[in-house]
Amino acid sequence: MYKYASPRNFYHLAGRLLPWLTAATVMLLLAGLYLGLFVAPPDYQQGETVRIMFIHVPAAWMSMFVYVLMAGAGAVALVWNIKLAEVFAAACAPVGASFTVLALLTGSLWGKPMWGAWWVWDARLTSELILLFLYIGVMALQASIDDPRRAARAAAILALVGVVNIPIIHFSVEWWNTLHQPASVSKVGTPSIHASILIPLLTMAAAFKAYFFAVVLLRMRPAILEREKHTTWVAETVEESA
């Protein structure tokens, strides 16, 4: 395990893993989309529009999962000074932000037929929007610091402050929402989800996870090369592939 904490070994490991992750992403995505779009039954109230859920819900899950992962990697980078964790956290931010945008867009598309408006100040949509702002803050901070080590440590501190704040923001938005809007939106489905919906949902969630790790590895590889450009192994690797 420790062997792969060195940038060089990780670079090659990532190169070997990438085709597998890409294949898993494609297969899971195809299976999930087929199950979600053709096999799952339409909702008795929402009709076919309920199928947006198979994109929307996994995207929203990922948006939070990635932020927590990024903050965790930031903590590891701050405490143990591991370069790979810095590279990983930096690679996470744009991917997590795009999941958040996807969740917001699909939420808005879903909202139009359901609530009759493109945007409703629903508690979950609002906290998702604030999460997007948090991601943008981390990315803007990273972008404005030239030294990669300082950028990574500053972003890690911000991500950690953010991760402590996310539950607070979530619950305050929920409180604010119930104060201002009487419950006009009924939740989708009953507490127990039928397997015909749950299976495509979980397949899509797995597809999004595989996609995330594939993209992060893809983003990490050039970042590792750039950081280690003064070492001989990078020179050798680049020469080999040239």
Partner 1 sequence: MNPHSLARAVLCVFRRDLTVALRRSTDVLTPLIFFAIVVSLFPLGVGPEPAMLRALAPGVLWVAALLAAMLSLNRLFANDHADGTLEQLLLAPHPLTVLVLAKTAAHWVLTGLPLVLLSPLLALQLGLSAEAMGTLVVSLALGTPVLSLIGSVGAALTLGLRGGGVLVSLLVLPLYTPVLIFGASSVTAAVEGLSTEAHLSLLAAFLVLALSLIPWATAAALRVSHD
Q: Which residues bind partner 1 (CB under 8 A)?
A: 78, 130, 133-134, 136-137, 140-141, 144-145, 147, 149-150, 153-154, 157-158, 160-162, 164-165, 168-169, 172-173, 175-176, 179
Residue found under tokens 């039954």: 41
Contact 21, 217 (CB under 8 A): yes
CB of 81 to partner 1, least distance (A): 12
CA–CA separation, 21 vs 65, rounded Å? 18
CB of 107 to partner 1, least distance (A): 18
If the CB atoms of residues 85 and 134 are measured against partner 1, the closer one turns out to be 134
If the CB atoms of residues 131 and 214 are measured against partner 1, the closer one turns out to be 131
Contact 225, 19 (CB under 8 A): no
Contact 141, 117 (CB under 8 A): no
If the CB atoms of residues 178 and 196 are measured against partner 1, the closer one turns out to be 178
If the CB atoms of residues 36 and 74 are measured against partner 1, the closer one turns out to be 74
CB of 213 to partner 1, least distance (A): 27
Contact 198, 77 (CB under 8 A): no
Tokens of 205: 């969630």
Residue 150: C-alpha distances to residues 27, 77, 109, 157, 158 (Å)? 39, 11, 39, 11, 12
Beta bridge partners of 43: 47
Around Cβ 187, how many Cβ atoms within 10 Å? 7
If the CB atoms of residues 66 and 204 are measured against partner 1, the closer one turns out to be 66
- Helix, coil or strand: residue 140: helix
If the CB atoms of residues 53 and 123 are measured against partner 1, the closer one turns out to be 123
- Helix, coil or strand: residue 47: strand
DSSP string, 115-128: HSSS----HHHHHH
